[in-house]
Structure 1
Amino acid sequence: MFTYFLWNIMLQMKGSKMKINSIQWPVTFFATSFGAGIFFLPQTVGPKVIGTHGTITILILSSLASLLGQFTFYRFILITDKKEYVSSAILFIGKKAANAISIAFLLSMLLIAIINITTMINIICFSLSLNGSERIFVSLIISATLGSSFIFFNSKIEHLASGIAFPSLLIVLFLSIYFYSHPAHPHSTEIQNISTSNLLTLFPVVLFSFNFSPCIQRFAQNKKDTAGDLRFFMFGILLILIFISFIVFSLSNIFSPSDIKNMREINSDALSYSANVTKNSFVAYISILTMILITSGAYTGTLTGVVDTIVSLGFKNKTLIVFVVSVITFIAGEANFEIIKVIAALSTPIIAITVFIIPSAFFLKTNCNSIFRKIMMTLNLLIGIGICFLAIIL
């Protein structure tokens, strides 16, 4: 019912024909958010961990909170003619505070880029059994290739991101159907029915999976008017919700409780681990391709936010910016760390402050004439504060 509701609203647009750009930006939103962390959800908030109802509840609540937060973030960017987050923040909290917040947001996006690069390198090196020196070479090739592609497509970044995402959508759909039709453990039971308080602590991790804020400023600058802008966001959120649901429920279908426990202990993503469970070499190769495509799309969308934020701070040479970021991700690609803990502990609070708290506080202070808008902005502010609190105590 929720999906049907969103789909009908998405189709309500000015005119009867949907332009290709109307598809590309929502798919770019999908590509930016649908990164490495998605495949850690089945063993974190999957139906065999927190129960079917718990999984459905947390996914729907996260999608709605993300829609409210990121659309508010978008509207905040639009309050100045430059359509830059930094300029809007300066107007509200002053230059020093705005620059500090923007730098923190920049670091959080850089961390997301590093997470996706590291995941991609780990997948390739593990599947090909590469040693240390070979890993360095792979890291260099990946960073250079993605950086060069970004420079080439910079003015039409949605073409690159959506071009990566479209085959990802098809492959994920294929894998989901396969996993649904080939359950390895059809009689396995749920591990636990998690309490409401524990479910809340997982909320920031799931909400992070719907985050496409790095590319919103570019969307705002490329869109000539605000006609139908909410539809773009709803379509993007809908895509993310549907395909996250496919991943979480289909992969959970093939895992036993011991599999889920083992994935947690070795810090493995569910898609890579699925090849061990199914004993299917074709699934293994498709899984590798899927991870490469998905992490490439997420890296591209996130790099857009990194570059745009640095440009907003006064550094105008985009080629040099991309080169420096590529060097940083190349070096960081040699590291390996627990992805979920990094996301929850570092990125999520910064995103909550930048995307939820500051825009909501601005609109509550300056532009809340209607009761409905005041309620929505208050809710958005409370969500941001709650995310920070929950992420810190995790």
Structure 2
Amino acid sequence: MNEQAPSVEQRFAESTPATLGNWARHDTTWMLGLFGTAIGAGTLFLPINAGLGGFWPLLVLAVLAFPMTYFAHRGLTRFVLSGRTGGDITEVVKEHFGSTAGTSITVLYFFAIFPILLIYSVALTNTVSSFIEHQLHLQPPPRAMLSFVLILGLLAIVRCGEQATVKVMSLLVYPFIVALALLGLYLVPHWTGGILDSATQVPPASAFLHTLWLAIPVMVFSFNHSPIISAFAVDQKRRYGDHADERSGQILRRAHLLMVVMVLFFVFSCVLTLSSAQLAEAKAQNLSILSYLANHFSNPTIAFAAPLIAFVAIAKSFLGHYIGASEGLKGIIAKTGARPGAKALDRVVAGLMLVVCWIVATLNPSILGMIESLGGPILAVLLFLMPMYAIRRVPSMRKYSGAASNVFVVVVGLVALTSVVYGLLG
């Protein structure tokens, strides 16, 4: 197996940035890689979580979905691009905010992403084990063995290098998009109005704003792909140099348009099929929308396809989050003063990730969900607020100041942050 690619700093220094030409294959690969990181198994719960608030809040969320996603991730991309050396987010934070702040943010960055990786490790094991038992009617192997094989298989892809990982993610996106589209179209003849029953009753302003306040984080984190943004920005700077901001903006716009259109079509198709009471029932049973639809229609095809779709969704999101988590862990190791070679560091990080993910996937501790929730406020700060703060404080980013979109990002970030904290305290 090939060793992982050289460090981002080496790649930036050794290559000559290209001029901005026509859209290329690697741009499409990154577009689909961003989609793959953002749209994971959580998408299968989004119709339930977003639809329970009623028609009008969902409509507002649908309108806000693209600008919330695009402007926030563009800001984080620009932040990484603003570094002088072409380094990743951990290096750029240190460059702009100093060593102490850089260390703190690097640690927070890692602990915001790593629990999500652990969640995916558990979910992957559960999904495959359930598929073997209920769809194939076979005895699943011991959980420890199954989780080890699954995680090792995904890490084998990662060890082939960043570009190979993003390529695999982009390939996994195709069947997922087709599955979402077919499921949405399958439901069209079964549309009964569903959530439209609540459209005739416009809630009072206070109740509407409260529902919207609590629902915004659901939409924000459903399209979140910040863990892979650093690697994305580094690669854009290596390829395009001074044109990186322009090309990365094009890639982000297309990726976000694709994910918003596909996911919202799927969401609205589901909520137009099921009533509010049925969505509440699915929520109470802790079922994904596919599992509930399979039971609702007594459709064995959906029942068989559901775990396969979930597997693809989890696998591609795992790969994207691994890129971010490994980046954070490498940054933490670097802050300790250790200076292993690039290949040795890759092996150490991969080994640590394998062991921890395997143990957690085997044990499935109940505290994992709480740890993931604690990462929500950190992600909100890093994705929405830190880049906007940098625009005010960092000279190389002041050229982006004065845009109305900056105010929009700060407002959405504060809404998401306060809502997540309220949910934790409540």
Give the 3-state SS of the residue equivalent to 1:381 in structure 2.
Answer: helix
Aligned to 2:217: 204
Candidates 96, 103, 110, aligned match of 1:106: 110
- The residue identity in structure 2 corresponding to 1:21 is H
Residue of 5, 8, 21 corresponding to 2:26: 21
Identity %: 19
What do you get for the CA RMSD once the two structures are aligned? 2.7
2:55 to 24, 38, 52: 52
- d(CA) in 1 for partners of 2:366, 2:57: 28
Counterpart residue number, 1:31: 36
Residues 1:158 and 1:378: Cα distance change in structure 2 (over 3 Å): same
Partner residue of 1:9? none
Whole-angstrom distance in 2 between the partners of 1:186 and 1:336: 40
- Of the structure 1 ranges 364-373 and 165-174, higher mean CA displacement relative to structure 2 is found in 364-373
- Separation (CA, whole Å) in 2 of partners of 1:393 and 1:90: 31
1:348 aligns with 2:367: no
Q: How many angstroms does 1:370 deviate by?
A: 6.4
Look up the SS of the partner of 2:37 in the other structure.
helix
**Worse-superposed segment, 226-235 or 259-268:** 259-268
1:247 Cα shift? 2.3
The reply on whether 1:361 has 2:361 as its aligned counterpart is no
Q: What is the CA distance between 1:133 and its match in structure 2?
A: 6.6
Supply the distance in 2 between the matched residues of 1:125 and 1:296 (Cα, whole angstroms).
15
**Where do 1:81-96 residues align within 5 Å?**
81-96=85-100
Distance 1:188 1:370, change over 3 A: closer
Unaligned 5+ runs, structure 2: 1-18, 335-339
Alignment check: 8 A CA contact 1:83 1:220 kept: no
Change (3 A) 1:21 1:56: farther
Q: 1:213 aligns with which of 219, 226, 244?
A: 226
In structure 1, the residue matched to 2:276 is 257
- Assess, with a 3 A threshold, how the Cα gap between structure 1 residues 336 and 292 changes in structure 2: closer, same or farther: farther
Contact 1:37 1:340 in 2 (8 A): no
1:271 maps to 290
Aligned residue for 1:50, secondary structure, equals coil
1:369 shift after superposition: 5.5
Residue in structure 1 matched with residue 13 of structure 2 by the alignment: none
Aligned to 1:3: none
State the alpha-carbon separation in 2 of the partners of residues 60 and 182 from structure 1: 25
Question: How much does 1:28 deviate?
Answer: 0.5
Letter in 2 for 1:29: L
> What SS does structure 2 have at the residue aligned with 1:301?
helix
Deviates more, 1:314-323 or 1:346-355: 314-323
TM superposition shift of 1:14: 5.7
The answer to whether the 8 Å contact 2:31/2:252 transfers is yes
CA contact (8 A) 2:129 2:140 kept: no
State the distance in 1 between where 2:194 and 2:268 align. 15
What residue in structure 1 maps to residue 185 of structure 2?
Answer: 177
Aligned equivalent of 2:350: 322
* Alpha-carbon distance change, 324 to 273 in structure 1, aligned in 2, over 3 angstroms: farther
What is the SS of the residue equivalent to 1:233? Answer: helix
- Give the aligned length: 377
Match of 1:162 in 2: 170
Residue identity in the other structure for 2:78: R
Give the letter aligned to residue 233 of structure 2: A
Distance 1:186 1:384 in 2: 33
Q: Which amino acid aligns with 1:111?
A: P
